[in-house]
Structure 1
Amino acid sequence: MDKTWTQDLLDFLDRSPTCYHAVAELAAKLTAAGYRPLQEQESWTLTPGQGYFVVRGQASLAAFRVPEGPWRGFAIAAAHSDSPTFKVREEAEVSGAGKTMRLSVEPYGGGIYRSWLDRPLSVAGRVLVRTAAGVEPRLVNVDRDLLVIPSVAIHMDRSVNKGTALDPAVDLLPLLGMEDKGAFRRLIAAAAGVEEADLVTTDLFLYPRMRGTCVGAAGELLCAPRLDDLQCVYGCLQGFLAAGTGQSMPVLCVFHNEEVGSGTWQGADSTFLTDVLSRAAAALGRTGEAYQTSVAESFLVSADNAHAVHPAHPEYADKQEFPVLNGGVVVKYNANQHYTTDALSDAVFRELCRRAEVPVQRYSNRADLPGGSTLGNISTAHLSIPSVDIGLPQLAMHSCCEVAGVRDTEALARVMTAYFAAGIRRLPGGGMALASN
């Protein structure tokens, strides 16, 4: 991955402090590439050869490109826009000891709490403001070092290095400053460019102020917030935009709320993906059985980062199937189908990697250490198609600062370019075939 592309990824991460900003960045990149926005509340008229995108809830996005010629099914890639963090409550200000002011927050997702201590933080997200036309959402980012969550000194907690438990309701409230009632709301109103009286409500989250950077003797490692899962979002987007015309309709879907179960109107456990596919097909004259046959020749790549073997704790990894940083794209496998990969979808994806000359690795959880799941098996509960779970290897997953390999993003972009440019068809005997342009 060249330096220009690496810097573009780091800039994307920096401009995406929350899921709302990430989706706004995606929409801007798609618009710059000629894609047109569609509104769910309006009728759709689609033109062959044109690309489109739909945003739901400002935090989920689905993009697709209408083929100019005959096409079979949908080539879908899905990733997620959210990362573990802390949500700021509406009644945010909490008076603290020593005439201080802290913010009331609640954990969002399963983060590594200690990683948030003793570093500059700020808040970003969206607010709803009152206008003459109605209630209007606006993105906000207090773009300066604003907050800190201070540790308790070792002199007062001699067991701190033995693993002191952190209580989110006590230990993780960020310090805003000295007591000044109403200061936080004034800051947010100013960031939104409105009067305080017009600030109706908020969806605000903490984020670390560090910029992503390259580390390592040869600069071969990425050290940045939100690599899970914006690194996959970025790699899939690059492949989606670079791919030529194939025999399938390319679809890129980025869901919100994966870190909290996906059970929202904009998550993978919603009708968002099926709504977009069925409406796009209907606008092109494919309804009823014609739509169902298109679904039958479709495929899903669920892209969410994977655990690399840890340099200090290799015992947490399976002894045979563990990925390494800069070792290429990871295919994730679980016997209990917490990942959707099976032999068929694995074979299809590996053939794509072979064609793209991309290194591919395999990941399984250690048999006695159950892992998490992804949006893949949630999505396929709504859209019954073969699916493969993949990701990029990383360390410190769910820390506010994660580590990944520089070269792996390019590997993902290359195989996704091949995927979106290919066509997939079902074979009568249960197999699948890949076609080239």
Structure 2
Amino acid sequence: MGFYEEDVKGLVRFLADSPTAFHAVDHFARMLEEHGYHGLAERERWQIRPGGKYYTVRNGSSIIAFQVGETLEDYSFKVTASHSDAPTFRVKERAELTVKGQYTRLNTEGYGSILCSTWMDRPLSVAGRVIVRKDGGYREELVKIGRDLVLIPSVAIHMDRDVNEKSAFNKQVDMLPLFAGSADHAQGSLAGIVAEELGVDEAEIFGMDLYLYNRMQPSIWGKEGEFISAPRLDDLQSAYTSFTGFLRGADAGAVNVFACFDNEEVGSNTKQGARSTFLRDVLERINEGLGKTQEELRCALASSFMASCDNAHAVHPNHPEKTDENNCVYMNGGIVIKSHAGQQYTSDAFSIAVWKGICRKAGVPVQFFANRSDMRGGSTLGNIAMSQVSMNAVDIGLAQLAMHSSYETAGVRDIDYMIRAVEAFYDSGIREYTLGSRE
């Protein structure tokens, strides 16, 4: 069996294993360890050597890995950046709400721009990070309740006759999941389930970052098995494929960097988001660890390149009018290059040319996406990250349907396309990404 089939299976396993950003980053860290990467703690001094392979994690939900080339007299960085989070519902600290002594609901709030209707009438559960206090210290534990635990019920059409003509949902009223059929034991019961799952006393739990997740497993479907549907394809599909390409690529004359940030769906304004100092801190510490000066760092950044990897909107089969007439993309059509006049995407003529050249070298098709000029589009982390550390950058992704649904759809063949393109990027000599001076 070739890389293609194995990579599809690998993505399916990763999606099933990653109900939250914490789990996705933990999965990446374990894979890096298996490939000989050495973990570095930000609070400790780093020892960096040419030819070394390293990674560091911030907040348990963002990760940066890097391969250091062996001949770095005149070096640069090659970076891919993606995000680990997805729209969902966060469980509030005081979680249980009772209804007339008969039902118990979980008190939640929306995280990101959620397609609310897709979360209703399907099995859900709870996962996230738990802080446990034991022996005078704190430790972090990941939890994933692996059973159908809650459900958000729709209102019957007999009680809401115009439901099919409206699409307004109140997140404090309509979107709270049903958790239990009796309020008798409600207080603390979710924490009790979490404690039992972790094998600790409930009194030892001092903090929880818990989220709802869709229990539906990833599915490969279509006439020829050409589609994949799963929770959190935005952006775990791009994160996994760029990570796989990173593991396979190598360049002795550069530092190859894989970055996956948390909190893109809520603006990236956190210590672990793309707008934080995380990427800049890591690049500066690499430069310092190699014994190089600040001037050499500035030279390196000026000749560096980043690919911001975040999925894109495919033409909808029932609503092709929602996309631009000819700057539109299709699933299984290849890598999407995104651009925007207002710089919501970081692509420009130079970075587009570079990425087209990389894809041509890899034998991978490209597509071009721009929003309709009369519709507001989304944004991504490329320009946000570049506000902290500047280099040439392009916004790319893979075409998908139902972005921000609890169950999204994308193309199976695009998995291979992205891996091959990213591997070619990390394999290529860095100097071809430097724009020549006009003299």
Gaps of 5+ in 2: none
The reply to whether residue 347 of structure 1 matches residue 353 of structure 2 is yes
Amino acid at match of 2:193: L
1:159-212 alpha-carbon deviations (Å, 9 max, x no partner) = 111124211001111000112323212101112221011111110000000010
Which residue number corresponds to residue 55 of structure 1? 57
The reply to whether residue 429 of structure 1 matches residue 433 of structure 2 is no
The reply to whether residue 26 of structure 1 matches residue 34 of structure 2 is no
Cα distance in 2, alignment partners of residues 56 and 245 from structure 1 = 26
TM-score (norm. length: structure 1): 0.97
Q: List aligned pairs for 1:243-254, cutoff 5 A.
A: 243-254=249-260
- Mapped contact 1:83–1:229 kept (Cα < 8 A): yes
- Mapped contact 1:83–1:398 kept (Cα < 8 A): yes
Match of 1:13 among 15, 27, 52: 15
- Mapped contact 1:129–1:198 kept (Cα < 8 A): yes
Match of 2:233 among 227, 233, 246: 227
1:331-351 alpha-carbon deviations (Å, 9 max, x no partner) = 001011110000000000000
Cα distance in 2, alignment partners of residues 390 and 164 from structure 1 = 31
- Mapped contact 2:105–2:177 kept (Cα < 8 A): yes
Q: What's the RMSD between the two structures over aligned residues?
A: 1.3
Which residue number corresponds to residue 173 of structure 1? 176
- Mapped contact 1:126–1:204 kept (Cα < 8 A): yes
1:62-116 alpha-carbon deviations (Å, 9 max, x no partner) = 0001111235210010000000000000100000246010000000000100000
The reply to whether residue 91 of structure 1 matches residue 94 of structure 2 is yes
Q: List aligned pairs for 1:133-144, cutoff 5 A.
A: 133-144=136-147
Cα distance in 2, alignment partners of residues 263 and 91 from structure 1 = 25
Shift, 1:46, TM fit = 1.6
Cα distance in 1, alignment partners of residues 345 and 69 from structure 2 = 30
1:105-152 alpha-carbon deviations (Å, 9 max, x no partner) = 000000100000000000000011111141211111111110000000
Cα distance in 2, alignment partners of residues 76 and 430 from structure 1 = 26
Count of residue pairs brought into register by the alignment: 431
SS in 2 for 1:201: strand
Shift, 1:2, TM fit = 3.2
Cα distance in 2, alignment partners of residues 32 and 91 from structure 1 = 39
SS in 1 for 2:157: coil
TM-score (norm. length: structure 2): 0.96
Amino acid at match of 2:18: S
Match of 1:126 among 126, 129, 136: 129
- Mapped contact 2:68–2:252 kept (Cα < 8 A): no
- Mapped contact 1:247–1:421 kept (Cα < 8 A): no
Amino acid at match of 2:212: L
Cα distance in 1, alignment partners of residues 241 and 413 from structure 2 = 11
Match of 1:258 among 254, 264, 267: 264
Cα distance in 2, alignment partners of residues 428 and 8 from structure 1 = 40
Amino acid at match of 2:172: A
Match of 1:237 among 212, 221, 243: 243
Cα distance in 1, alignment partners of residues 302 and 253 from structure 2 = 14
Range with greater deviation from structure 2 (63-72 or 231-240): 63-72
Match of 2:371 among 365, 368, 373: 365
Match of 1:109 among 108, 112, 135: 112
1:205-225 alpha-carbon deviations (Å, 9 max, x no partner) = 000000101010111000100
Gaps of 5+ in 1: 432-437
Cα distance in 2, alignment partners of residues 291 and 164 from structure 1 = 51
